[in-house]
Chains A and B, each alone.
Chain A
Amino acid sequence: MNKEITCTDLVQEKLALLKQNTHQTVNTLLNDLAIDLATKVDAKIAKGETIGLLEGIPFGIKDVYMLQGTYTTASSALLKKYKSAYTATAIQKLLDAGAIPLVKENCDSFGHGSSSENTIFGAVKNAINPELVGGGSSGGSAVNVAKDYTVFSIGGDTGGSVRQPAGYNCVYGLKPTYGRISRFGLMAYASSTDCVGPIAKSVEDIRIVLNAMSGKDNKDQTTYASAEIENKNISNSESIKTVGYFKNFIDSEAIDAQVKSDFLASIEKIKAKGIEVKALDFFKSDTLVSTYYTLAMAETASNLSRLDGTNYGNRIEAETLKETYAVTRSENFSEETKRRIVGGNQVLSQGFSDEIYLKGLALRDDISENFENDFAAVDVILSPVTPNTPPKIGDSLKDPLAMYLSDAYTVGFSLGQLPTLTVPQGTATGLQISAAKNNDELVLKFANFLKDTI
């Protein structure tokens, strides 16, 4: 159905839906800013000026990105009243392209979680079944896209935080190659795997938003220059000859029987198209999860050490300065955040660092090398996104170890810094497509192929 609608009407319609906050996805509604920008787009159209692909398109922002003048809480008590002084590079690029930010979205506090329950704004509800979790940590972003409250949302993926909620809510979610999009203005969780990632309802939308945000940025020296991905280059999958999958992911006792049989059925459909499928060896799930969490905790302990109530944050006064730091942090961090900070300081301390932290780094190198060898043998790797379907709200918080292990299929690709996309097909929580570093184009190409195949 084609419908002509002004940009202002479209934005107002979406804002009205978000205002109801039916799924607890909203931390801050950017009402005035959105209406103001929409009015400018309408004026431009009225004058007959050409508008860009993203101009007037309403989008959501995970509440860990700086957008000047808006609250950026990281869904935490500590930063409940923290106002962004500047704007993240990725978000600025979207603003420059004319996209309209509607909402700062609920998530696990500082990205610490896989269910979006670790938040002061209330657990995010799943878009398909509101009794279940929305996934995490970018849960609010995935649910907003799934419910059509935003056209696309920008999540953040450190160990699966875009791909897993995308899978739980049946939408697309991309973790690009590390460094393709600037992290400047993204609140740091684990700097060596933090990625800016778009969530949307089509491969085409992912492509457009990815192109808009990509590029070298001298404010993030891990970024690199990348060529624009053109639609014509991802519409034909002839160059994809071999697909791999990790045997141990599928043979694992932890995988749900239905997820397993659906995944294997997807593999058969791919084979039927004449593509060679290879079963690959990979690291055990517990090794992947432990390596990821060891390094991520060490990095988050360092990154969050600045949050002491001095330059910003909800300072709680105590008798001495050190007491002030300790009380501020103790009262304002969630249990999960505290668990990760303490874990990080454990592995970084003398006596533990060789045995755990440096060993973790060495394992990460082994994992990266494994990927390099794999991509000499296959074009893309296909995996389930999660071993199981989304848990009920309330269940994940009881068992942190189980929550960590539920990230088994996503964390490896983060450690490898590989481009990985969740597609809402194949299993109840989707499929992940991964390719070699810097080969984001191939990932999108295979997603288009799967759209027509499964």
Chain B
Amino acid sequence: MSKIMTVDVLSSIKGAQPSEAVNRLFEVIKNANSTTNNAFNNNHNNCVSLNDLRADEVIESSTTEKQIIIENFPKEKNGYLVVSKVIED
């Protein structure tokens, strides 16, 4: 997709514009000197070891939890909860 998206579209916030205060922070970053050439070539990431991955299992939610999730749903139609549909464009 080559379409250019503006920040208001990217952020789903109507009329959003970059702010002067935040742009000034970015200017500092652009002008800063970093000794590290590759941000991903480092030892500071919080990686999980393959041996330590959690089990891939389905855990049934409690009845209370399910009930609250339903309560939190903003929209209901004919007894069904309305979830998002695929955006075509």
Interface residues of chain A, those whose CB is within 8 Å of chain B, are 68-69, 82-86, 178-179, 192, 218, 221-222, 286-287, 289-291, 293-294, 297, 301, 305, 308-315, 321-322, 325-327, 329-330, 333, 338-343, 345-347, 349, 352, 355-356, 358-366, 368-369, 399-401, 404, 417
Contact = CB atoms under 8 A, between A and B. Distances in A.
B37 A312 contact: no
A310 B87 CA distance: 14
Interface string B25-40: 1101110101111111
A401 B24 CA distance: 8
A297 B13 contact: no
Given A342-B18, A345-B11, A363-B36, 15 more contacts: A68-B65, A69-B68, A290-B25, A290-B28, A290-B32, A294-B26, A309-B74, A311-B83, A321-B85, A322-B12, A322-B87, A341-B16, A358-B39, A362-B38, A364-B39
B77 interface: no
Leading 10 A-B pairs by shortest Cβ distance: A361-B39, A315-B74, A290-B28, A343-B22, A401-B21, A85-B68, A312-B72, A330-B14, A362-B34, A290-B25
Contact of A222 (B26, B46, B74, B85): B46
Given A355-B30, A363-B32, A343 B12 contact: no
Given A179-B46, A329-B13, A356-B30, A289 B25 contact: yes
22 contacts: A85-B72, A86-B65, A221-B48, A293-B25, A310-B83, A312-B73, A312-B74, A322-B87, A326-B8, A339-B21, A341-B13, A342-B17, A343-B22, A343-B25, A346-B7, A347-B26, A349-B7, A359-B29, A364-B44, A400-B19, A400-B21, A401-B24
Contacts of B68: 68-69, 83-85
Contacts of A364: 39, 44
B46 A349 contact: no
Contacts of B84: 308, 310, 321
B25 A363 contact: no
Interface residues of B, number: 52
Contact of A301 (B11, B53, B69, B87): B11
A68 B64 contact: yes
Contact of A346 (B26, B32, B61): B26
The secondary-structure label for the interface of chain A is: helix
A323 to B, nearest CB: 9
A363 B34 contact: yes
Contact of A294 (B5, B11, B25, B61): B25
A169 B53 CA distance: 41
Given A83-B68, A310-B74, A312-B74, A338 B13 contact: yes
Contact of A404 (B7, B21, B72): B21
A349 B10 contact: yes
B78 interface: no
Contacts of B48: 221-222
Nearest to A81: B72
A286 B28 contact: yes
Contact of B36 (A289, A290, A325, A366): A366
Contacts of B7: 342, 345-346, 349
B36 A362 contact: yes
Residue of A289, A352, A356, A417 with highest tally of chain B CB at under 10 A: A356
